[in-house]
Each structure stands twice: as structure tokens, then as C-alpha cells.
Structure 1
Amino acid sequence: MRRSTPEFLRIYEAECRRKRVFVEEVEELERRLNRIAVTVRLITGDPQFRALLASEGLAAMPKTLALRFSDSPPAHTSSQPASAEANPTSAGEICPEVLALLRDCTGPAGLFALLRLVHPVRQMEIARLMIARGPVSLNYVKMLVALTPLSLLVKDIQPLHELSSFSENRRVEMEQELAKLSGAFLGALDRRGPASLELVAACRYFDRLMNNSSVVRYLARNFPGRFEEFHSLSLPVFN
């Protein structure tokens, strides 16, 4: 890795910010979905309102929304590939799962040489982070390898020289921060797709409620303090 320490820090800090922003966006998406679920639970707790919904043909709501406000949110299927530990790979080799994951990716020269410096389980994590980040950046991969825990580096491989100017405490701090953010990022990545679809369905249903004059009159009369909030929840998901 032929880059100066300031450049290494720039890449590190930029990627940490990027991951924080992504995680926060997914968490905000989930918070909005939960607010809709709480609101639907509140208004459908009124028997007269449920009867009104039935009479207006609005009683049927998206299954995922019904599950969520009944405190049984739908399970999100993880997109994480099979663990690289399932098929042991010798140190210094690329595990088959990573090769399959990168089959359709165009990677820069030197990518696989870098992946061979880490154990298969770390290869898989780096591959997932690379693909999610897109496009594949060699400098990004170099940074991930440089901040790989010693236990996940191939034997006799030493940390890259850009870390030599950092104290041991600082290196460990950066390594732990990146590991924490990477885990949160990959978890958010798994949740984003299903949660986005669920939120679109929930917002559309709520929009139907707020476009029905009978429903609007009932809510305005019986929930005047929350009527503005009801309107905000029916706004489009993405601007």
C-alpha cells in the first residue's frame, strides 16, 4: 500500500462517515415504519373506526403492516452468503464462496493478492463490503486489510506500513471502530430492501386512509391533536 499516512486517514475517515450515514438512513426508515405501525394500532383500537374502515372497503391492510403493529414484525431474510467457514480454505488461498461472490465483478489488479493476506472469513466480509460500496476501490480494500485484526491475518503477515506511525492504542481503536461500523453497515444492508418495500406498502395504505373523506372527518373529530401527524405519515417515502 503505497499511500501516505494522511491519505490513509482520509480514506478511513471518509468510509467511516459513509457507513454511519447509511446506517442512520436505514434506522430512520425503520423508525418511520414503526411510527406508522404505532399510529395504525392507535386508530384501529377504536371499534367505531374499524367499522368505518370496513364500510369504506379499507379494512384490509398490508400483511406486513398488520404483523408489525401486532408486535410480530415480519422476519427479514439475510442476503449474507454462506459462511466461508463451511468449506475450510488453506491460508493464502481465495475461498470458493468469495470467488462465487465476485464472479460478476470487475475488480482492480491486485485485488486477489490483497485478499490472500487475510483468512477466508475476513475475505468474505471484505468482499461483501466491496460489493455494497461499489464501485470496487483498491484503496478501500487496502484500508480494510490494513485494519484487519492480527488473528485474521495470514501467518507471518505484518500490518501494512501506513499504520507504523500510529500508536498501538490508536491502531486498535481504528480497527475496532471500523469493525463495529462494518458490522452495522452489513446488518443495515440486509434490512434496507425488505424494510423499504414494507414502508412503501404501509405508506400507500395510510395514504388511502387520508384520501378518504369519511376517514379524514372521523380522525379530525376524534384525534384532533394528532391529525397533522397523520398527514405527515402519508407523505411519499422518497422525495
Structure 2
Amino acid sequence: MVQLKRRLTREAAYKALHGSAQRHAREIAADQPGSKEKLFAPRLLPAYKAACRRKRDFIRETEEAERCLVRLAEALRVIMNDKEFLSLLMSEGFATIPNCVVQRLHDATSEAATAKHAGMSPAGSSAGRQLVSGICPDVLAFLQDCFVKVKIFGLLRHVLPARQMEIARLMVAMERVTFTYAKILIAFTPRPLLAEGFDPTTIANVSEDQLGAMTPELGRLSSEFLRAVERRGSASLELVAASRYFERLMDNSKVVRYLAHNFPDQFEEFHSLSID
């Protein structure tokens, strides 16, 4: 007699999958050979400075794009009250303004628009999630499409789940999912976010004074950088759409003459955007 295989219940299937995930995580999270090798100052400090410099550059570029959009919206808000100019836009085929520009025009203030983007936060939270052999499940999911060296997970066990997720986001955003960069971020983790009993000087050859001075700076830059990452995509898309629209405007002789004669300040703003 052929014995039929019994179908797993949903609960049993979940337990089987969860057990498999735990076994996999135990394997990838275990301390790997070489994970306790220290980073010494000749290698650590230049890498630290380079990471800070890249973050500052990214933040500055994001803020410049946002300031440009703010100036653009303010300039456009002034001339859009001119009925003759609106008629000119319609007659010349420019009545359809990009949605992103229209949205900024409808915002109560330019600061409100910036605050709206700055207040965005990534979906989900690492708090309260059951760890899989010391690794936050959200981190495993976040990094599943990245090539991650096995020993990086051994490092992540030395910090709390919220910091694990922050480090994962920083590595991906910086395009540096590397063991060295992970070790730098672990070494310069604020004390309250370290796992109990872990001493960062065991993986980085830096003094307590250096840690005390450099950790707050990297933490502040990292927070600003991640907020800029959240805003950068939408700001860049808005700027591209606005630039293309105003390039077309600046190629129209009638529009150029009208703006130059009636709105010289706004004309300069639109002209500079079209040639950037």
C-alpha cells in the first residue's frame, strides 16, 4: 500500500522554515577566522576620513539640489500670478508644467516642503524583532541581494539590532559592503549601542580618547547622510524634470523676451537652471 505523505500545517511549515533560518544564521554569524584582526591607525584613520568626506560631499550636493528647487519654486510662484504670462505659456505649448513643480507651488512654504521630505523615515523597525543567532532578521532581509562576506555578520553581532540596521543601510548607501568598512562602523559605534561586554578597541587599534572624539562626528554625519539618502532620489528627479521644462522655455524667444523684460530676477534663475 502506498503511504500518502502528510501535508505540513501552516504552523509546522513556519517552524521548519524558521529553524532553517536559524541554522543558516548561526553559520553565517559565527566569528570567522580573521574577524578579530585589528585595524591599525595607518589604515583606519585614512579610511575614516575618506568616509566622512564622502558623506559630507553627498549631504552638500543633496542640500544644493534642494536649495535650487526652493529658489525655482519661489521664482515661479511670482510669475505664475501674471495672467499675460500664463496666456503666453498656453499659446506657446508650455501649459503643462511638471507635476513635481506644481506640487512645490502648492506647498504652503518652501520650508514645509523640505521638512516633509526630511521627516520621512524608512519603513519598518528593528525594535522588538526576535534575533536569529544575534542578527536582526531585517538586516538579513535588507542584505539578501548584496554580496556580503560571511565574517561581516560576525562583526554585526557586536552591536544592538538598531545599530545593525543602520550599519547595513550605510554600507549599501555608500556602496561599501566590505569587511573593513563594517569594522570601522562597529569600532565607532556609541557605547549604548554596543552589545554587552564588547570592547571596540579589540578590533581597532585606537585609544579611548580617539574613540570619544571621533565617534560623535561619524555618528552625526551618518545620521545626516542617511536622511540625505532618503531625500536625494526625489530631489534629483524633480530637478531633472524642472531642468528639462525650463530648457524648453529658454529656447523660446517669446518667453525669453517676456521674462527678461518683466521679470529679470526670475529670468536669471530660470536661465541658470537651464544651463546647469
Aligned to 2:248: 208
Q: Give the CA deviation at 1:79.
A: 7.4
Structure 1 segment 58-97 matched on structure 2, within 5 A: 58-72=94-108, 73=113, 76=117, 80-89=122-131, 93-97=134-138
Structure 1 segment 222-233 matched on structure 2, within 5 A: 222-224=262-264, 227-233=267-273
Q: Give the CA deviation at 1:163.
A: 5.2
Following the alignment from structure 1 to structure 2, what is the Cα–Cα distance between the partners of residues 171 and 106?
29
Indicate the SS of the match to 1:141. helix
Aligned to 2:23: none
Q: Give the CA deviation at 1:160.
A: 2.1
Q: Give the CA deviation at 1:164.
A: 4.5
Candidates 112, 115, 118, aligned match of 2:153? 112
Indicate the SS of the match to 2:127. helix
Following the alignment from structure 1 to structure 2, what is the Cα–Cα distance between the partners of residues 177 and 163?
18
Contact 1:37 1:69 in 2 (8 A): yes
Following the alignment from structure 2 to structure 1, what is the Cα–Cα distance between the partners of residues 215 and 98?
43
Give the greater-gyration-radius structure (CA).
Answer: 2
Candidates 129, 135, 140, aligned match of 2:170? 129
Aligned to 1:178: 218
2:68 corresponds to 1:32: yes
2:201 corresponds to 1:165: no
Aligned to 1:52: 88
- Counterpart of 1:108 in structure 2: which amino acid? K
Following the alignment from structure 1 to structure 2, what is the Cα–Cα distance between the partners of residues 197 and 225?
25
Aligned to 2:261: 221
Indicate the SS of the match to 1:84. coil
Aligned to 1:4: 40
Alpha-carbon RMSD: 2.2
Q: Give the CA deviation at 1:31.
A: 1.3
TM-score by length of 1: 0.88
Q: Structure 2, unaligned stretches of length 5 or more? A: 1-36
Indicate the SS of the match to 1:85. coil
Candidates 52, 55, 70, aligned match of 1:19? 55
Contact 2:152 2:179 in 1 (8 A): yes
Following the alignment from structure 2 to structure 1, what is the Cα–Cα distance between the partners of residues 69 and 266?
17
Instruction: Give the number of equivalent residue pairs.
Output: 233
Q: Give the CA deviation at 1:117.
A: 0.7
- Counterpart of 1:85 in structure 2: which amino acid? A
Q: In 2 relative to 1, CA 19–225 (structure 1 residues): closer, same or farther, beyond 3 Å?
A: closer
Contact 1:117 1:153 in 2 (8 A): yes
Following the alignment from structure 1 to structure 2, what is the Cα–Cα distance between the partners of residues 44 and 135?
45
Structure 1 segments of 4+ aligned residues over 6 angstroms from their partners: none
Give the % identical residues. Answer: 49
Q: In 2 relative to 1, CA 119–166 (structure 1 residues): closer, same or farther, beyond 3 Å?
A: closer
Q: In 2 relative to 1, CA 46–6 (structure 1 residues): closer, same or farther, beyond 3 Å?
A: same
Q: In 2 relative to 1, CA 67–88 (structure 1 residues): closer, same or farther, beyond 3 Å?
A: same
2:187 corresponds to 1:151: no
Aligned to 2:231: 191
Indicate the SS of the match to 1:180. helix
Question: CA deviation digits over 1:85-115, x for unaligned, max 9?
Answer: 142437x611110000111111124101000
Aligned to 1:101: 142
> In terms of mean alpha carbon deviation, does 226-235 or 67-76 score higher?
67-76
TM-score by length of 2: 0.77
Contact 1:146 1:163 in 2 (8 A): no
Q: Give the CA deviation at 1:21.
A: 0.5
- Counterpart of 1:186 in structure 2: which amino acid? L
Q: Give the CA deviation at 1:223.
A: 2.6
